[in-house]
Amino acid sequence: MKVFLPPFKLIQQGIGFIFFVSASFIQAAEPVHITLLQLNDVYQISPVDKGKAGGLARVASLKKKIVQESPHSLLILGGDTLSPSVASNTFKGEQIIAAWNAVGLDIAVLGNHEFDFGPEILKARIKESQFLWLGANVIDRVTSHPFGGVKATEMRVFEGIKIGFVGVVTDDTPKSSKPGEGIQFIDPIASTRREAIRLRQQGANIVVAVTHLSMEIDRKLAATGVVDLILGGHDHTLLQSLAGHTPIFKMGSDARTLGRIDLVVNRKTKHLDYINWDSIPVTDMTPDEPSVAKVIESYESKLAVLLDMPVGETAVPLDARQEANRSRETNLGSWLADIYRYSVQADVAIINGGSIRSNAIVEAGKLTKRDILTLLPFENPIVKLQISGQVLRRALEYGIAETENKEAGQFPQVSGCRFSYDARLPKGARITDIRIADVPLDEQGQYSVALNSYLAGGGDGYAMFKGLPYLISPENALSETAEVIEALAHQGKISPKADGRIVRMN
């Protein structure tokens, strides 16, 4: 049975009066609502923070609910998802693409870490993707077109409203990843300006930049006024900003927060009237979407098996005891520090002993990925700082100031330097000799130092590192766990030893 509704709708009732208006007029006057759901820098398909936050099955559940409220919805990723993680080191990003396909991701911009496994692996992942990749400033040197079949822009239409999307990634990607020589990364601001003009010429009423840039560059882009909105990534912090009339949003990392940006567009003028936005916590109170959870579980089950497969071997026991690593040089600490230094090609590396876990002797024999995760459970990024010799001395003095306190995690396991100290001397003046590559420390000189991001941010009391210039920032860094696993696989069999790089004189 068909029901015919009258062509009028009651909109207001006053005292003694009833006002009617045509339903078609109401429809013409109502704005068009378009919802953009935003995530960025998502490396884990499963929940993080001991299960309390994140998880793409939970994101899918939130997305499904929001689409019911707002049918004109798109899920957008601000770059960085193929790497780094232990799962990605195992599956080369296959698992994250499968998860995004199940969730129903619509648009993603390339991030710098998409290139961690090289261009050929990235091409394979792009082909597997059931969503669109953007990369207006990532140019194949042979074809002069965007790399790997990605697009520079995309246009979507909702009830006659045309929204253009342009995607750009940081142009320092070659310094932080492995894109190879065949790809050129051009100026992201100039690229966005060029493509935004094209989108306007094609009739775009609103232009959205999906970026994987630092907030500083995003602000410069916003100030040009060429786009109406920036959905960004690269910074792993929940951020919002405004430059000119262009808002910028970033949603932290690992899907802890889902951004909801509602565009309210005048149906008649097709102008953006206003934006509503919200940051929605993704917590353990959010149910999993069953079909996505099934995909994730299939990879987690495979990973559990693969974690117990050997990736290398140690010919000697490895000292992972807490008391040892927090008070003196150990063979494990020196080996890990060497990997840190080689990974980012730094002059010196420092690892706080408190980062090395397990609190046991790892017996000689086969080593699995699970063993490495037990030793380094935090999966910290390995960053690179520029540091003066004077500050390096202060850091080492601080590191050995509490050697009697076996709970203090600050003791420095090092690479690229050797030092001697006398614990009987006053704190802050105990080191008697420091050599960098067998040359005495130049306190006025400049050095590069490899650290985990925790120490670089002042963790374990290393306040002298805060604010120092990054040569490789956390957003551009590789995971310590993945780098150690790769180094172990490459070396095959290791036999590290404490070689006297740290000498306590009394």
Q: What is the pLDDT of residues 318-340, one digit of tens each?
A: 999 988 999 999 999 999 999 99
User: 187-199 as b/e, with b when 16 or more CB fall inside 10 Å?
Assistant: ebbebbbbbbeeb
Q: Which two tokens stand for residue 241?
A: 């900003």
Out of 258-262, 382-386, 482-486, least confident range: 482-486
Strand blocks (E) in 170-282? 183-185, 206-212, 229-232, 238-243, 246-251, 257-265, 272-281
CB atoms within 10 A of CB 9: 14
Give the whole-angstrom CA distance, residue 219 versus residue 248: 8
- Determine the pLDDT at residue 160: 96
DSSP 51: T
Residue 151: pLDDT band by 50, 70, 90 thresholds? very high
Kindly state the tokens that stand for 178: 């492995």
Token couple for 242: 């405004």
Per-domain residue ranges of the chain: 8-303, 310-504
Q: Answer yes or no: is pLDDT of 257 > 50.
A: yes
Backbone angles phi, psi at 181, to 5 degrees: -85, -10
- Phi, psi (rounded to 5 degrees) for 94: -60, -40
Length of the chain: 506
Q: Which of 309, 372, 308, 374 is nearest to 339 (CA)?
A: 372
**pLDDT digit string, tens, across residues 58-70:** 999 999 999 999 9
Provide the pLDDT confidence category of residue 13 given band limits of 50, 70 and 90. Answer: very low
Highest mean pLDDT among 201-205, 369-373, 460-464: 201-205
CATH number for the region 310-504 comes to: 3.90.780.10
- Per-residue pLDDT tens digits for 129-145: 999 999 999 999 999 99
Give 372-391 as a DSSP string: HHHHSTT--EEEEEEEEHHH
Residue 295 contacts by C-beta under 8 Å, 6 or more apart in sequence?
98, 99, 102
pTM of the model: 0.75
Each residue's pLDDT tens digit, 462-495: 999 999 999 999 988 988 998 999 999 999 999 9
Q: In sequence order, what DSSP letters do the residues of 424-482 get, joined into one string? A: TSPTTS-EEEEEETTEE--TTSEEEEEEEHHHHTTGGG-GGGTTPPEEE-GGGPEEHHH
Q: Is residue 407 very low, low, confident or very high in pLDDT (cuts 50, 70, 90)?
A: low
Which one of 2.40.50.140, 3.60.21.10, 2.60.40.60, 3.30.450.20 gives the CATH number of domain 8-303? Answer: 3.60.21.10
DSSP symbol at 146: B
Q: By three-state DSSP, how is residue 284 classified?
A: coil
Residue 64 DSSP symbol: H
**Residue 416 pLDDT greater than 80, yes or no:** yes
Backbone Cα Rg of the chain: 27
Residue 22: what pLDDT? 35
The secondary element (H helix, E strand) that includes residue 63 is helix 56-69
Is it the case that residue 156 has pLDDT exceeding 80?
yes
Same fold? 8-303, 310-504: no
What per-residue confidence (pLDDT) applies to 12? Answer: 28
Residues 6+ apart with CB under 8 A from 103: 56, 59, 60, 63, 75, 289, 292
Proportion of the chain above pLDDT 70, given as a percent: 94
